[in-house]
């Protein structure tokens, strides 16, 4: 990732934050393109976000870029907002996946029980 040495404007800060922490759908699509055989991409999205955060902190602390005062607020605002949103949407998607999986298993179990008992009560 090529990070700039100087950030002067709000637009530059927002563009940089959008490149580093993309929207959840874009991040997940990138992971699914990179690892097409996996059907559970959620940990990889978490790892990707953590790696990006590590790279950003290294960039800020080690290379010490010049970030002008107005842009500094927007840069940190966008970083934290986008990072939190990415993690939250990944967690929500993970929860939805497990809910779908367990509800499908429960539905199958009830259908098997209906076939055995024939009363339609499920169990």
First to last CA, the chain: 56
| Average pLDDT value for residue range 7-28 | 87
Tell me: the pLDDT tens digits for 65-78? 888 888 888 888 88
Give the integer Cα–Cα distance in Å for 6 and 64.
9
**Above pLDDT 70, what percent of the chain?**
93
Positive or negative, the CA dihedral 14, 16, 43, 36 is: positive
Tell me: pLDDT of 8 over 80: yes
pTM of this prediction? 0.72
**Above pLDDT 90, what percent of the chain?**
2
Give exposure, 4-36, as e/b (b: 16+ Cβ within 10 Å): eeebeebebbbebbeebbbebeebbeebeeeee
Tell me: pLDDT of 47 over 60: yes
| Nearest to 21, CA basis, from 68, 66, 63, 75 | 75
Domain definitions of the chain by residue range: 6-117
């Amino acid at each position: 990732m090529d990070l700039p040495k100087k950030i002067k404007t709000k637009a530059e800060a927002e563009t940089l934050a959008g490149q580093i922490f993309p929207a959840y759908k874009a991040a997940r699509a990138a992971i699914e393109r990179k690892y097409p055989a996996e059907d559970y991409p959620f940990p990889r999205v978490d790892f990707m976000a953590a790696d990006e955060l590590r790279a950003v902190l290294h960039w800020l602390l080690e290379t010490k870029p010049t970030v002008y005062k107005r842009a500094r607020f927007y840069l940190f605002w966008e970083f934290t907002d986008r990072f939190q949103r990415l993690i939250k949407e990944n967690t929500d998607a993970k929860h939805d996946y497990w809910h779908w999986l367990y509800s499908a298993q429960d539905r199958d179990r009830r259908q098997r029980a209906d076939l055995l008992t024939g009363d339609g009560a499920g169990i």
